[in-house]
Amino acid sequence: MALFSKEYGNLGDERLMELVVRGDERAFGALYDRYSRRLLSYFHRMLWNDREKAQDYLQDLFAKLAQRPASYDPSRPFQTWLFSVANNMCKNAYRHEEVVRAAARELRHGVDREEARDGIDVDHERFRGRLDQELARLDPDHKATFVMRYHEDMAIKEIAAVFGCSEGTVKSRLFYTLKKLAERMKEFDPNALHHGKA
């Protein structure tokens, strides 16, 4: 018996995937609604802030899911599996495009290029621009770990499952990344300014 759309919203990811494997389009739609915004944001941050590319990757990911739903491993939580697929797609993009290096160099020379005109959001915009620039310089796994934790608000345990590594590895990656970012973005540290005056 068919379920109403509202009832689909109450089902867990894994149950929805069972239905998708059986060819249930509404279950697929429910998963798309649940994850498309988060994945678009993830792809956008991972793929050089290119919204068009992020949209393409999002569509590709769900197209793969629609065409080969049996590729999902039911022994893993769906969210963990989905983000590991997304992460692998980003890694492939890095391999096929050396653009990331060129983009990082270009950003380094034009940090202030996209500052807000009205002067109100300048610092916030500059900070975001610098952060994106520094993230682009990181190892892909460190960048992905940072984005999952601080932009997608994923738990350490979930991130560890995505990468198939220990929680300790995730924590040390985050520690290393935060330390690196703090060193490279000293101009945004209010304490550094005070020390400068001393």
Structure confidence at residue 139 (pLDDT): 92
Residue at 147 is within a domain: no
Task: Give the domain CATH number at 29.
Answer: 1.10.1740
The predicted structure's pLDDT at residue 127: 82
The count of domains in the chain is 1
Cβ-contact 17, 78 below 8 angstroms:
yes
What is the structure's pLDDT at 107?
52
Mean pLDDT by 10 residues, the chain (198 residues): 65 95 93 96 94 94 92 93 95 71 53 43 72 90 93 92 94 90 76 42
The full DSSP string for 61-108 is: HHHHHHH-GGGS-TTS-HHHHHHHHHHHHHHHHHHH-THHHHHHHHHH
pLDDT at 5: 58
> Is this prediction's pTM over 0.75?
no
Say what the pLDDT of residue 128 is: 82
Q: Is residue 2 part of a domain?
A: yes
The whole-number pLDDT of residue 12 equals 95
Answer whether residue 111 is part of any domain. Answer: no
Tell me if 167 is assigned to some domain. Answer: no
137, 165 Cβ separation under 8 angstroms: no
Residue with tokens 């499952």: 161
Q: What is the largest CA-CA distance in the chain?
A: 73
Instruction: With respect to residue 47, please indicate whether it lies within any of the assigned structural domains.
Output: yes
Residues of the domain holding 23: 1-76
pLDDT the model gives residue 142: 94
* φ, ψ for residue 134, nearest 5 deg: -70, -35
Q: Cα separation of 184 and 182, whole Å?
A: 6
49 in a structural domain: yes
Whether 155 is covered by a domain: the verdict is: no
DSSP state of 186: G
- Please state the φ and ψ torsions of residue 110, each to the nearest 5 degrees: -135, 45
Q: Nearest-CA neighbor of 29 among 17, 43, 47, 41?
A: 17
